[in-house]
Amino acid sequence: MTPDKYTIKEFFLDVGDNHQLYVQDWGHKNAKHPVIFLHGGPGSNCKDKHKMNFDPKTQRVIFFDQRGSGKSLPKGELKDNNSQKMVEDIEKIIKELKLPSVVLTGGSWGSCLALLFGIKYPHRVHGMVLNGIFTARKSEISYLDDGGFKVFFPDIWDKYAASAPKEYEHNPSKYHYKNIFGEDQGLSKKSAYAYSEMLEGPLLNLDDRYESESFEEFDPDATKIELHYLKNKCFIPEGYIFENANKLTMPIWLIQGRYDMVCPPITAYELSKLLPNSRLIWSVSGHMISRESWALIKLLQEQAAN
């Protein structure tokens, strides 16, 4: 993410554990309820295109790259990189910028991190606008690792299965996880690439015209961070968010694509029934939500910040 004329300031925040987060404070400095944008992944980063979903003349948005991601340092670091640390990082950013309360917004892993923060620090959260809901339950993670999507994308699953030796054809993720965190850097990159190709193509975009990134240009760090979390069930107990949903009493809007092949829609539906003050809005889209859905999210973000 690059600074522009609406950037209030950008800086690196030392959050301890040898981690420094890249932060960009952007938009209208005196906005009533600043927004904190939480990117997905884990392992992804904030991008310039994310600014398009906000109005810098009326909103103040804090963007930051999570531990090991994007411009944050050390790049790709897995040590002391877990959900509990991430939650505290958000609190440290809020304290650093002297923000009394914030609106949290994000999708996929970003939605999970927002919910985790809201459970720990409910007094800090004025509201949430979330999409592509993910809560890190075992069923949600195994849906990807075990190919729950293959009834819709059998060819994608077969290609992924073929990237592992025949003895792993029914469980290719086991093979790739082993390699990704092994000592052979060549095998590690090959397995990270195979997993990324399975996830980042048609599953995310619902578009078979997706062009693969070349293996030579592929950076495995983001995938390693993501699978570091997934193999550890995102470092939270099974069903933790569902069991603590009653603590999330602030207004929460959930926007969920009916055809999300990465975060099954049933998660958003089941969670919405437990949240005390939520509204679930269905979108005719996949994991990468449509332009119309982004317009809706922008409207809800503005509403939540008032």
Any idea which residue has 């850097």 for tokens? Answer: 185
Tally Cβ neighbours within 10 Å of residue 139: 14
Our answer to whether residue 111 is catalytic in this structure is no
Any idea which residue has 């109005």 for tokens? Answer: 55
- Find the catalytic residue in 33, 69, 287, 293: 287
Query: How far apart are the C-alpha atoms of 53 and 177, rounded to whole Å?
Result: 35
Query: How far apart are the C-alpha atoms of 297 and 253, rounded to whole Å?
Result: 9
Our answer to whether residue 108 is catalytic in this structure is yes
Question: Two tokens at 53?
Answer: 């979903």
Residues 6+ apart with CB under 8 A from 25: 7, 8, 9, 10, 60, 62, 97
Query: How far apart are the C-alpha atoms of 303 and 306, rounded to whole Å?
Result: 5
Question: Two tokens at 29?
Answer: 């400095």
Our answer to whether residue 39 is catalytic in this structure is no
Sign of CA dihedral 200, 202, 208, 209: negative
Query: How far apart are the C-alpha atoms of 159 and 246, rounded to whole Å?
Result: 42
- Find the catalytic residue in 260, 278, 285, 293: 260
- Find the catalytic residue in 44, 69, 72, 108: 108
Question: Two tokens at 80?
Answer: 């002391």
3-class DSSP state of 102: strand
Residues forming a β-bridge with 254: 130, 280
Question: Two tokens at 79?
Answer: 């040590």
Query: How far apart are the C-alpha atoms of 41 and 60, rounded to whole Å?
Result: 23
Question: Two tokens at 28?
Answer: 């209208």
3-class DSSP state of 274: coil
Annotated catalytic residues are 108, 260, 287
